[in-house]
Chains A and B, each alone.
Chain A
Amino acid sequence: MREDSGRDVRDHVEAIYRSDSRRVLATLIRLLGDFDLAEEALHDAFAAALESWPENGLPANPRTWLISTGRFKAIDRLRRTDRFDSADANALERLVQTTAPEVEEGVEDDRLRLIFTCCHPALSPDAQIALTLREVCGLTTEEVARSFLTPAPTLAQRIVRAKAKIRDAGIPYEIPSLPELPARLDSVLHVIYLVFNEGYLASSGASLTREDLSAEAIRLGRLLVELLPEPEAIGLLALMLLHEARRASRTSPAGEMILLEDQDRLLWNRERITEGVSLVERALSSRRIGPYSLQAAIAALHAEARDAPSTDWSQIVGLYDVLLEVERSSVVALNRAAAIAMRDGPEAGLTIIDGITARGELDDYYLSHAARGDLYKRLGRVGDAVAAYRRTLELVTQEPERRFVIRRLRELGETELPES
């Protein structure tokens, strides 16, 4: 009987760890003013829970219990430490003096503080991503390393350096003030978007997608919308859901890449599309329209088209026009050219792409050559198509995409091809 209830409590502790450990950590960082101390305190608090709860039963509010236990454990730890430097002294003083209302006050904002701190632009983008996945999402260093195909020691080092910079450069644990918010939010959204993209279209390696990372990015996006429902945060969540909705149709069972127009739309996840579309509407109704919301609106038009031919290319081109206004990027211009080709025919698209590469932009970007190859193929200009796909083949780094290009070249009658 005793055994059983003990196991029961252990299950509870595990469940609470999964659901609440990041919240507890976020508050402990605020109270202790140090990431490493807070992580140790979090660990101590859960260890204490495993000892105490089977004896004394579950506390009424486990999260509050964990925070206050973590705090006391940190005080103990600091008092015991023999290498007592001034940072520790400050932390100890602050800890001892913190009153219960001060602990409570701002608990709700702690997760947002953690997100903004991990995504502080004074940290390198790599460090922002690693720290966010580690601290906000709770992935282990090994998991983060595996996701980004980085050796674990390299990644661990990156996290250690980032924490050191937070401490030594005085990056504050706070939500940015209103004037700073838009720029700082951009940096958070960018981190989430990079994580999603790495999961959606892995930049290198054997498989086309890494689902875990996309799921993690969507979870982060949801959390951000819950904590800070800014239009662009909503737009980014919509964008991710709409892309993710197509996951099952993007690769064949053999792991081959399938283009949007050839995808089986019955495989698209309707639930995600419905949620994505309604989020797009919410973001656009704010009248503060940014690049993520616009990209989401484009994705929504694709998602809502019954089949490829009934895609509303005029509206998509219109949205790309606006997107190009808010974000002058040659990649956006390239996508717009592809949409124009669908609306006005391949020549129109080719003229624009040639214009972009003539400016010396995107000439080393595999997708501009893949797009040209596709448009030449549509025009029946086999020689030009082959040349463009050959160039793509030189530039592409990801395995399924490389095999796709080889397939295309074979379809065009090429026989001398590298192994696929």
Chain B
Amino acid sequence: MGTGYCWRCGGSDPESLFCKYCNSLQAPITDYYNFFGLPKKLTIDLDDLQRRFYNLSRSLHPDHYTRATPQERQYSLEATSILNDGYRILRDPVQRAEYILKEAGFDIGEQRSKDVPPELLEEVFELNMQLDELRSGDEDARRPLEESRERFTGLQQDVDRQLVGLFLAYDSARSPEAAHKALADIRAVLNRRRYIRNLLREVDKELTARPV
């Protein structure tokens, strides 16, 4: 409720989906965490999130507003689309992190993941060589490439484990500086993760393009 007042009865009830006086649906809150009634933490209980999603769907979905006023039908449509968008983003750890990063002012463009993370420079170089060899028809490069692929898949799993730890660091940060530092670390790790994922996609494309 942007204005803090109910559009229908005029009652003052800031920050709620339904007016506590006349129970009519209000203009939806657009912040996903507020919408779900969750604290702004990176660690989320997925079962709890799903339960909230189902309950909110039941009370907001346009199917239940067919006979309501046009204003409520409009709010229902908007609220449900926020609900669905929010659920999609909050239930995926990476999108969840990107959401918080964006809110905190971090830039998370795709462009950043085009740069090779420095600690991976050597492995990436080797992998690219193997890719080129396979592309030019050298089947001997296949085994080494598959092994590199295994290594990178392992790295990807390491990254995901790292994220869990960093999420906890953010959630338990005692000061804005600590929180900001945690977010900066998370952004670096996300870049690495995206880079590795793109690389693996390239490799898989090559490996399946020429089935043995």
User: Do the two shown chains form a genuine complex with each other?
Assistant: no
